[in-house]
C-alpha cells in the first residue's frame, strides 16, 4: 500500500523521471484498478487540502491581530492533516480489500462464459454451429451466426443471449447491453438478461454504470433470477 501511495505521490509532486512519468501515464490507461487508486489519491488529497485550509482560515479569524502576525498555530494544522491522513489510509485499506467491480465480473466471465453449453434441440443445428464456433474462440463466426439466428423465431431468445455474450467477451459492452436489454424484454420464467446486463455494466465501468448494475443485481436477487447467488455475494462487496 505504502509503495503505491508513494509512487502516485511522486508523480504529482514531480519526483519521477520523464520515462517514469510516461510509464505512470500509460499504466493509468491500461490498468483500471491503478487508475481507480490514482482517482482515490486525488480525491483524498483534495479533501485534506480543503479541510486544512478551512481550519486555518477559521483559526485565523478567531485570533487577535497581534497574535495572528506573531504566532501561527502550525501544530493544530498538522494535527488536522495527520487525522485526515489516517482517514485516507483507512479508506485506502478498505478500498484495497474490496475487489474492483470489473474484477468480479471478469472472474465470472472467465469461469462461466468461456464455454457455452450445448443446447439439445432438433431444430437448433445452426445454433449449435454458432456455439461450437464460440467454444473454439472463433467469435467472429459465432457473431455472424447468432446475428442471423436472432431473427429466427424458434431460436431467437438463445441467439440474442449468445450474441450478447459474444459482445461481452470481446469487450463491446454497448452492443452487449443492447442485446441484454432485448433479452430482458422477452417474457421468460427465468430471464438471465438483467444479470448479464449487470455484468456488462460492471465491465464497462462508466461513473453511472456501478449504480445501474447494483439496481439490476438487486432485481436479480429479489426475483430469484438466474445469477441470484452471485448477485447476493456481489451486493455485499460493491
Residues 153 and 114 in one domain: yes
What span, in angstroms and rounded, lies between the C-alpha atoms of 27 and 103?
17
Residues 112-136 pLDDT 10s? 999 998 765 545 688 999 999 999 9
Contact 207, 214 (CB under 8 A): no
C-alpha cell of 176? Answer: 452487449
Q: What pLDDT, on the 0 to 100 scale, is given for residue 68?
A: 47
Same domain, residue pair 230 and 115: yes
Torsion of CA 132, 137, 139, 144, to 10 degrees: -30
Range name among 5-9, 73-77, 216-220 with the lowest pLDDT average: 73-77
pLDDT computed for residue 69 by the predictor: 47
Q: Which domain holds residue 21?
A: 2-97
pTM: 0.61
When pLDDT is averaged across residues 139-148 and rounded to a whole number, the result is 96
Q: CATH no. for residue 224?
A: 1.25.40.10
Judge contact between 39 and 8, C-beta under 8 A: no
Amino acid at each position: 500500500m505504502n509503495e503505491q501511495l508513494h509512487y502516485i505521490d511522486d508523480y504529482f509532486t514531480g519526483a519521477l523521471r520523464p520515462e517514469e512519468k510516461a510509464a505512470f501515464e500509460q499504466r493509468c490507461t491500461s490498468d483500471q484498478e491503478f487508475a481507480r487508486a490514482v482517482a482515490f489519491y486525488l480525491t483524498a488529497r483534495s479533501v485534506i487540502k480543503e479541510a486544512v485550509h478551512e481550519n486555518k482560515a477559521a483559526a485565523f479569524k478567531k485570533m487577535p491581530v497581534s497574535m495572528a502576525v506573531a504566532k501561527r498555530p502550525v501544530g493544530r494544522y498538522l494535527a488536522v492533516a495527520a487525522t485526515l491522513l489516517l482517514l485516507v489510509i483507512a479508506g485506502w485499506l478498505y478500498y484495497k480489500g474490496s475487489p474492483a467491480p470489473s474484477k468480479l465480473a471478469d472472474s465470472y466471465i472467465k469461469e462461466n462464459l468461456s464455454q457455452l453449453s450445448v443446447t439439445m434441440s432438433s431444430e437448433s443445428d445452426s445454433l449449435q454451429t454458432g456455439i461450437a464456433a464460440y467454444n473454439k474462440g472463433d467469435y467472429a463466426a459465432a457473431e455472424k451466426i447468432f446475428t442471423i439466428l436472432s431473427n429466427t423465431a424458434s431460436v431467437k431468445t438463445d441467439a440474442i443471449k449468445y450474441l450478447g455474450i459474444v459482445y461481452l467477451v470481446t469487450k463491446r459492452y454497448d452492443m452487449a447491453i443492447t442485446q441484454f436489454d432485448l433479452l430482458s424484454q422477452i417474457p421468460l420464467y427465468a430471464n438471465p438478461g438483467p444479470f448479464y446486463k449487470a455484468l456488462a455494466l460492471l465491465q464497462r465501468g462508466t461513473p453511472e454504470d456501478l449504480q445501474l448494475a447494483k439496481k439490476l443485481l438487486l432485481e436479480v436477487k429479489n426475483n430469484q433470477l438466474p445469477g441470484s447467488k452471485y448477485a447476493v455475494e456481489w451486493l455485499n462487496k460493491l
